[in-house]
Amino acid sequence: MSPRITPFLWFDTQAEEAARFYVSIFRKAKLGKVARYPEGSPGPAGQVMTVEFRLDGQDFVALNGGPHFKFTEAVSFVVNCKDQKEVDYYWDRLLAAGGKPSQCGWLKDRFGLSWQIVPVAMNKLFTGRNKAGAQRAMQAMLGMVKLDLARLEQAYKGA
């Protein structure tokens, strides 16, 4: 059975390039069907129209829809990382070839799509019983660009 909801990403003309880029980063990833514009359609006949791909079990479709719409930070994808090594891995690769870091673990890749690269242990720091520790960890996070789990844990402990 197919997933009920599939993110559909609008690109100008880089749908296939973006799909290949994302598939090259995620370890459990696969490029799927590529559909091309037929004669008499809104795009040039033969040009890639859509590209299906899967990242860690999540299906996506990339569309070459023209320059009409751009990505904004209002929609982002969270990559939950098991440790700092994974944070570093995804951070570096998604920024490759023209991405831009933001703050608090957010970045835009070279296509303008927003990602949040987050260590899963961070949630425990913000939701634990130590309210003062959670506040210190939050303040530490607000001063970061790429998230540093060790620094967040130190802030939580008051170190």
Report the alpha-carbon distance of residue 23 to residue 1 in Å, rounded.
Answer: 22
Report the alpha-carbon distance of residue 81 to residue 158 in Å, rounded.
Answer: 24
The residue behind tokens 């880089």 is 14
Compute the average pLDDT of residues 94-123: 97
CATH 3.10.180.10 maps onto the chain at: 71-159
| Cβ-based neighbour number of residue 20 at 10 Å | 15
pLDDT for position 71:
97
Residue 128: pLDDT band by 50, 70, 90 thresholds?
confident
Compute the average pLDDT of residues 63-77: 96
Residue 94, H or E segment: helix 84-95
Residue in 128, 122, 115 with CA at minimum distance from that of residue 150: 122
Residues in the chain: 159
pLDDT for position 51:
98
Note the pTM of the prediction, 2 decimals: 0.93
| The one-letter amino acid at 60 | F
Report the alpha-carbon distance of residue 104 to residue 129 in Å, rounded.
Answer: 22
Residue 1: pLDDT band by 50, 70, 90 thresholds?
low
pLDDT for position 48:
98
Fold for 1-69, please state it.
3.30.720
CATH code reported for the domain at 71-159 = 3.10.180.10
pLDDT for position 57:
94
